[in-house]
Amino acid sequence: MEGVDHLAFERNKAQFDVDAMKIVWAGSSHALEVSDRMSRLVASDPAFRKDNRAMLGRKELFKNTLRKAAYALKRIIELRLSEEEASMLRSFVDEPAFTDLHWGMFVPAIKGQGTEEQLKKWLPLAQKMQIIGCYAQTELGHGSNVQGLETTVTFDPKTDEFVIHSPTLTSSKWWPGGLGKISTHAVVYGRLITDGQDHGVHGFIVQLRSLDDHLPLPGITVGDIGMKFGNGAYNTMDNGVLRFDHVRIPRDQMLMRVSRVTREGKYVQSNVPRQLVYGTMVYVRQTIVSDASTALSRAVCIATRYSAVRRQFGATGGNPESQVIDYKTQQARLFPLLASAYAFRFVGEWLKWLYTDVMTRLQANDFSTLPEAHACTAGLKSLTTSATSDGIEECRKLCGGHGYLCSSGLPELFAVYVPTCTYEGDNIVLLLQVARHLMKTISQLGSGKKPVGTVAYMGRVEQLMESRSDVQKAEDWLNPSAVLGAFEARAARKSVACAKNLSKFSNPEEGFLELSNDLVEAARAHCQLIVVSKFIDKLQQDIPGKGVKQLLEVLCSIYALFHLHKHLGDFLSTGCITSKQGSLANDQLRSLYSQVRPNAIGLVDAFNYTDHYLSSILGRYDGNVYPKLYEEAWKDPLNDSVIPDGFQEYIRPMLKQQLRNARL
């Protein structure tokens, strides 16, 4: 039935102010207003149609992406959109494109690693898109091990130029998005060599293609690396391969904020830490955490709405069958994901604050919080993207058979999202970075250096090694200090156990390799503690709106107790809670799920997604799923004709053959 809200009865059940929750989700009334306006602008414009992506071949798909990118820029200029509005508009276009790398990595790399002069020269060109750039770091042979990159950048004092060269096959740049077909420029990372001395990896601005005819410049070989996972999905992006054959660039195209090469060829380090060369990765990892909440909330919105529409079993006395959302098993799989989406939103907000704070300090030459920023961005990027990828797949299963249809929106969302577990740092490699930070923190405890920020709890390690939870009844687990106490004790004990085991090795690096599984687990426990504690911190703020704060408290408890239940072995084996307390947490969790149930549709409506953005028949706002699924099936190209191509050629003769055999 067109125009009827099939989910109205669910919306009427909500016990909280959904509009106020929309503001909390968006971050502010202003952010909600902008995102609402931009999402509707995109949704109402047929030029941004995206429901046909799974059907398009690679070339058509890619051309379509270029058309949308050009059209988006045209609209941004015509409507005189601000930077904030433009970035929102691009995100609602919802299609991986070269522009993501241009705005998300090329521009930030120049901003973060360029000198004032370099910013003045390159930023206006990039901002007007008179040049298009990408981030060319990874090579065929090395991605995680950045120090292992092989591209050489050798200073030639005779000509005052650098000579860039790809000395081996494995030194070919491989993966950079936007590189394959579109970028005119790249920030290229390679080993800087002056006077025969290797100074390690540095960034350089390199022109790749002519601004006149777009052909590769002399000495440059460049192309696309081929189809990736999923049909539409990430294949709208031209991930590329790039080789240099003694390509020359002027000396002033080395990004020289961290270190520079003088006219005489002298290598000079400035007073900023060399790790700032990795600064763009820190920036992007931070944005990836907020994006995780967006991707997970999309999947959860689809699965929640569909779970309220879908009915199976339980028809009694003329009543309809049960909505699948009422099954406790469905709730126990779905509601922790709903809680995680909110948790990642708030930890993403906090991480953005942390990043901005670090940047402000860097301007004043205060580098003290850089290790904390690196560990938090690496750890939270890893935790949230792994949970989101698994969560999207769980949402597909929560939608039963129909979740497997492309028209559910979930297969494409998964295919586009899952590489986040790898790009911008493999998730295990990043957790090992967190573990290094934790081990370093513990090793410095005796020196009187007080741990600060997210590792501050390590300063109470002696107390945390002894603490016992005082939870006596299920409701005690609603107390934030009970939850925090348990998560802190678990994280501290896991790290301390690793540190003790490490100290048994005469070679610490050997020990680190041998114990890496335990170290990864300790890092995960630490990152879960950060998420829980930032959710609790958020609830200390003034949050207006009927029932909004109460419901967020429920979600916070679900996030924490779900993880306590899931990792019960950890909590029990480290002795911070008893098995009785573990089972009380589980009892409390059941009661919390019942409190979410009437509010579930309201909680996903608060994400304020348009049907265009969700791109899912199962997740339609009006819940009118079956007629639309039925209608959609007939749009498949296979249904253009009653008899498919190939039938007469291959199947008809087969059928005739069988007929003959039957007659024999």
Ligand X SMILES: CCCCCCCC/C=C\CCCC(=O)SCCNC(=O)CCNC(=O)[C@H](O)C(C)(C)COP(=O)(O)OP(=O)(O)OC[C@H]1O[C@@H](n2cnc3c(N)ncnc32)[C@H](O)[C@@H]1OP(=O)(O)O
Binding-site sequence positions for FAD: 138, 177
Encoded one letter per residue, x for contact with ligand X by CB under 6 A and - for no contact, window 422-461 reads -xxx---x---x--x---x---------------------
Binding residue (CB under 6 A) for ligand X from 146, 359, 484, 539: 146
Which candidate, 232, 226, 234, 230, places its Cα nearest to that of 423? 234
- Does 289 help bind ligand X (rule: CB under 6 A)? no
Closer by beta carbon to ligand X, 149 or else 309: 149
476 neighbors 584 (Cβ within 8 angstroms) = yes
105 vs 544: CA distance, rounded Å: 37
- Does 25 help bind ligand FAD (rule: CB under 6 A)? no
Residues 6+ apart with CB under 8 A from 172: 139, 140, 166, 241, 242, 243
99 vs 107: CA distance, rounded Å: 11
* Among 210-218, 282-290, 390-398, 449-457, the segment contacting ligand X (CB under 6 A): 282-290
204 neighbors 187 (Cβ within 8 angstroms) = yes
End-to-end CA separation in angstroms for the chain: 54
Closer by beta carbon to ligand FAD, 348 or else 419: 419
Closer by beta carbon to ligand FAD, 138 or else 533: 138
Type of residue at 225:
I
- Does 240 help bind ligand FAD (rule: CB under 6 A)? no
340-359 in b/e burial notation, b at 16+ Cβ within 10 A? bbbbbbbbbbbbeebbeebe
- Torsion sign across C-alpha atoms 71, 73, 78, 80: positive
Binding to ligand FAD, residues 167-186 (CB under 6 A): 175-177
Binding to ligand X, residues 93-122 (CB under 6 A): 100-101, 104
And the tokens for 309? 């529409």
281 interface partner picked from ligand X, ligand FAD, none, CB below 5 to 8 A per type: ligand X
DSSP letter for 608, please.
-
Closer by beta carbon to ligand FAD, 18 or else 149: 149
- Does 144 help bind ligand FAD (rule: CB under 6 A)? yes
216 vs 226: CA distance, rounded Å: 19
The CA distances from residue 201 to 93, 117, 252, 466, in Å, are 35, 22, 17, 45
Instruction: Give 638's strand partners.
Output: none
Binding residue (CB under 6 A) for ligand X from 64, 287, 331, 588: 287
436 interface partner picked from ligand X, ligand FAD, none, CB below 5 to 8 A per type: ligand X
Encoded one letter per residue, x for contact with ligand FAD by CB under 6 A and - for no contact, window 80-119 reads ---------------------x------------------
Q: Residue 165, SS3?
A: strand
The CA distances from residue 7 to 4, 11, 48, 235, 625, in Å, are 9, 6, 27, 35, 11
234 interface partner picked from ligand X, ligand FAD, none, CB below 5 to 8 A per type: ligand FAD
371 interface partner picked from ligand FAD, ligand X, none, CB below 5 to 8 A per type: ligand X
DSSP assignment of 431-480 equals HHHHHHHHHHHHHTGGGTPPP-GGGGGGGGHHHHHH------SGGGGGSH
Q: Answer yes or no: 424 catalytic.
A: yes
369 vs 240: CA distance, rounded Å: 35
- Does 278 help bind ligand X (rule: CB under 6 A)? yes
239 interface partner picked from ligand X, ligand FAD, none, CB below 5 to 8 A per type: ligand FAD
Residues 6+ apart with CB under 8 A from 330: 307, 324, 398
Smallest distance, Å, CB 385 to ligand X?
A: 11
Smallest distance, Å, CB 147 to ligand X?
A: 5
71 neighbors 47 (Cβ within 8 angstroms) = yes
116 vs 537: CA distance, rounded Å: 38
* Among 209-217, 280-288, 593-601, 632-640, the segment contacting ligand X (CB under 6 A): 280-288
Binding residue (CB under 6 A) for ligand FAD from 71, 367, 423, 512: 423
Binding to ligand X, residues 346-385 (CB under 6 A): 370-371, 374
Q: Residue 25, SS3?
A: helix
275 interface partner picked from ligand X, ligand FAD, none, CB below 5 to 8 A per type: ligand X
Catalytic residue among 139, 394, 424, 521: 424
354 vs 373: CA distance, rounded Å: 7
Binding residue (CB under 6 A) for ligand X from 114, 133, 177, 348: 177
And the tokens for 442? 């513990």
Binding to ligand FAD, residues 498-527 (CB under 6 A): none
Q: How many CA atoms lie within 13 A of 428 on its CB side?
A: 4
Smallest distance, Å, CB 663 to ligand FAD?
A: 56
Which candidate, 529, 521, 520, 519, places its Cα nearest to that of 457? 529
Q: How many CB atoms lie within 10 A of CB 191?
A: 19
391 interface partner picked from ligand X, ligand FAD, none, CB below 5 to 8 A per type: none
428 interface partner picked from ligand FAD, ligand X, none, CB below 5 to 8 A per type: ligand FAD
Binding residue (CB under 6 A) for ligand X from 281, 358, 362, 434: 281
- Does 188 help bind ligand X (rule: CB under 6 A)? no
571 interface partner picked from ligand X, ligand FAD, none, CB below 5 to 8 A per type: none
- Torsion sign across C-alpha atoms 33, 34, 35, 38: positive
- Does 234 help bind ligand FAD (rule: CB under 6 A)? yes
**Site for ligand FAD (CB under 6 A): how many residues?**
21
Interface residues with ligand FAD (CB under 6 A) are 101, 135-138, 143-144, 175-177, 234, 239, 419, 422-426, 428-429, 432
Interface residues with ligand X (CB under 6 A) are 100-101, 104, 135, 137-138, 143-147, 177, 275, 278, 281-282, 284, 287, 370-371, 374, 423-425, 429, 433, 436, 440
Task: State the catalytic residues.
Answer: 424
